Amino acid sequence: MAWTASAIPEEEFHEPWLDLDSKAEKLAEKIRQSKHFIAFTGAGISTSAGIPDFRGPDGNWTLRAQGKTRTGPTTSTLQAIPTLTHMALVELQNRGFLKYLISQNCDGLHRRSGILPENLSELHGNSNREYCKSCGKDYIRDFRAVATYEKSDHDHRTERKCVCGDDLHDTIINFGESLPEIPLDLARHHAKLTDLCLVLGSSLTVTPANEIPESVALRRSRRSKEPCLVICNLQKTPQDDLSQIRVFSKTDDLMARVMEKLEIPVPSFILRRRINIIVETNERGKCQVNVLGVDTDSTPVSLFRSVRLLTHRRLLTKEPFCFTPHGGIETGTKLDFEFEFMGHYCEPKLLLTHEYNEGIGKSLYLLEYDPSTRRWTVTKDGGESQIE
């Protein structure tokens, strides 16, 4: 916890290359043989993206204990590129190796990198997610959806409203607050099923999250060599003696070698967005065109600074993005949209032409943006791709 952080940080250790390579080989073999592999991640996996950790030599809590403020540059969590470790975990998920991921991080990079919501427990929240306590509806934002905490550390209202009319709350877990029940229950469920738990970049000192990997190790008995606990962290942790493989290295260094041993390339980060265009008749009997971002699990996602329907010269800058074309829309009509995104990765505006076909009220467009080329690839669900 923040108030237990020492002004003199724990020493960091680095494995000799040959030792690291040998342990990577053992871990790769464990992954190959595993039937229910889970990962548990902490702030250490995001440091190579420019996001400081907490207990390292330049960690947020370490500096606070020293009475210092950060002076060097850091990267916004909204602009950070997911690290090699993030993308390795995504690929292990996509290939069926990684069954579940439990994270202490609030930076939102796991979900943005491509870890599916149903495969993820964010125990300490997500700075891009808010929810309604009344109806339970979730929202993902391409901006920080965090309360100001001006009145109290426990006042999580974000000053936005749910579609049901009630207040929205951020999902951040502050000190002294209970972990979210459903993500915690899912984490414990998968910890009971796992035969391999890989801890990456966590000091394993924050309770009760640190009890998850500990519970895995305590299931081990003399009769069985399973489950296996593997810990990768530069500093020592309280659970080192419980681990079967202990690696002192940066998580990127370990995962790069593990993926090489598995002969699985680590993919580059691609920003993926999903847009629904819905043509319907509203309660006044008029034709209405709605544009909204959605996640893979249909959670609403705030993606746009503005949306313009070019044929009607309308520019909307606030949600909901709803257009009411005069005279309605005939089948075969082409609707030309211009989307302006938040621009955290320097995304250019996107021009998209949607052809309305009577009887098909909702169309899903899959968008992929490559930050290295700054180009969009757009695919209509079930249709052809085009590059913008």
Catalytically active residues are 124
Question: What are the structure tokens assigned to 197, written together?
Answer: 């738990």
Q: Are 84 and 252 in contact (CB under 8 A)?
A: yes
At 84, phi and psi to the nearest 5?
Answer: -55, -40
The CB-based long-range contact list for 342-345 (8 Å cut-off, 24+ gap) reads: 342/78, 342/142, 342/143, 342/303, 342/304, 342/305, 343/305, 344/76, 344/78, 344/79, 344/142, 345/79, 345/81, 345/271, 345/369, 345/371
- Any binding-site annotation on 135? yes
- Any binding-site annotation on 232? no
- Any binding-site annotation on 106? no
- Any binding-site annotation on 322? no
Helix (H) or strand (E) segment spanning residue 196: strand 196-200
Q: CA 108 to CA 290: how far, in whole Å?
A: 27
Helix (H) or strand (E) segment spanning residue 136: none
For residue 3, how many other CB atoms are within 10 A of its CB?
8
Binding residues: 132, 135, 162, 164
Binding residues for Zn(2+): 132, 135, 162, 164
